Structure formats: C-alpha cells, structure tokens
Amino acid sequence: MTLDCIIVDDEPLALELMESYVKRTPFLNLVGKYSSAVQAMGDIAGKNIDVMFLDIQMPELNGLEFSKTVDRHTKIIFTTAFGQYAIDGYKVNALDYLLKPVSYVDFLRAANKAAEWFEVYKTGEPSIQQPVLQSNRDYIFVKSDYKLVRVDLKDILYVEGLKDYVKIYIEGQPKPIISLMTMKAMEEMLPTEKFLRIHRSFIVNKEQIKVVDRGRIVFGKEYIPVGDNYKQAFQAFIDGGTVK
C-alpha cells in the first residue's frame, strides 16, 4: 500500500528534513510540501491526501486550527518543538505527535502507524495488529508498539474503545496496553461467555466485576458506565450471576 502525503512546516530546514524522511520510506508518496497552512489549504482542496505531517506553531494559521479544516480521511501527524501541544494534538484526533528534532526512527514509527491504520480502515483486510485468539486458548496476542504481546484473558479487567484504538486494562498493571484496532474486532475475538459489552466504548470481563455502584461497574477508582442499549443484557447477567 502506498500512502499519499504532504508536509506543512514554516521552517525550511525542518521541511527539508521531513522530505528526506518521506523519500527514504518506500510506502510514502510525497505529493506536496508547503511552508504555511494557508498555502497548503489552497492547494489540497479536493485532493485525496492520506497523511499530513503538520507543524503546529506557524504564522497566520497554526497547525491545530488548520487540522480542524482537513478532510476526515486525512490522518494528521503533528510535528513541533513544544511538548505542551501534545494534549491539544490528540484532542483533534491526531494519529501521532512527533517532537522536534524528529529522528528517522520516530518518523518511521509514526509512518508505520499510519500504514497500519489504513490497512484496517481503508482496505478492510485483516492485519497482524488484530488480536489473535487460537482455538480453545485462554489468551490472545495483540500488536502494541510494533510487538505482539500475549494477554491472558483472566487478567483483563476491561477494554476501552477510542476512535482508532483500544486500551486493554490489565489487573495489576498501572498502564493499559494500547493497540490499533476497532472495538468490533476486539469484541469478536473475546469469548462471550467471559466478556460482556456494556457500552459502545467498554467491554468488561465478567469474572472481574466485583462492585456495581448506581448502575456503574467499579474498578478501583474507575467507574465504568453501562450504556442504555446494554442495560438489559447487563441486568440479565446480574440477575443470573453472583453480583447483587
């Protein structure tokens, strides 16, 4: 798969560096480079851009503002020298965030993430980042940080679905495992006798449900809501299970 991309950066050296990175990456095709968001906006209208490497701090129109005008098909990878913009970048659904000076290793990691995203969402073909559940096994393998990670089903507390990712919360681990996949794909791979979808954004491990408080499932300090469309199934589980 080849991804058409553009670079937008008002710093000539940064623009040149990113261009060299794109040209070193076989699956990226550079279709434009721009020294301002205004210039890019006028040129890409109507074009099918897959990936945009976008600087944040620019005159006239900054990258965060520009990203809100870009077609939803285009995945944004922000580049900036200022780390405080990271949270703002993810608020506008950026695929990734690169801190300058950008190394090729970090660039390639972000580019691979874009390729993985389009492999699933553009072609619809299965890929290695989808969870792998072998028959009669009590574990799955998920791709996270470009590695296959084994996850024992009994240790999963719950799964949270984001826009393009899932977060798998594991008992005893402070940070979740993050993997690029849909909630639908995750739900299909988890056995229904052990897991229950209780919200459009949450799947829970039935065996890990210990406390229910005012219709919310409690995991430590986290309260997981039960969506209206899932309350009947959840109540049936409660009535037939051990949680009262």
- At residue 88, does pLDDT exceed 90? no
The radius of gyration computed from the CA coordinates of the chain, to the nearest angstrom, equals 21
Length of the chain: 244
pLDDT at 121: 62
Which domains occur in the chain, in start order? 3-121 (3.40.50.2300), 139-240 (2.40.50.1020)
pLDDT at 216: 94
Helices (H) and strands (E) in the chain, counts: 7, 15
Structure tokens at 193: 């006798």
Q: How far apart are CA 133 and CA 141, in angstroms?
A: 7
- At residue 90, does pLDDT exceed 80? no
Q: What is the largest CA-CA distance in the chain?
A: 65
The DSSP 8-state label assigned to residue 154 in this structure reads G
- What is the helix (H) or strand (E) element at residue 82, kind and residue range? none
For 221, residues 6+ apart whose C-beta sits below 8 A from its C-beta are none
| Tens digits of residue pLDDT in 19-39 | 999 999 989 999 999 999 999
pLDDT at 125: 44
Contacts 24+ apart (CB under 8 A), 117-125: 117/75, 117/164, 117/180, 118/1, 118/3, 118/50, 118/75, 119/1, 120/180, 120/181, 120/182, 120/185, 121/164, 122/1, 123/1
Q: How far apart are CA 209 and CA 231, in angstroms?
A: 15
| Tens digits of residue pLDDT in 104-130 | 988 998 898 888 888 776 544 444 444
Handedness of CA 232, 133, 148, 164 (dihedral sign): negative
Find the distance separating the first CA and the last CA of the chain, reported in whole Å: 52
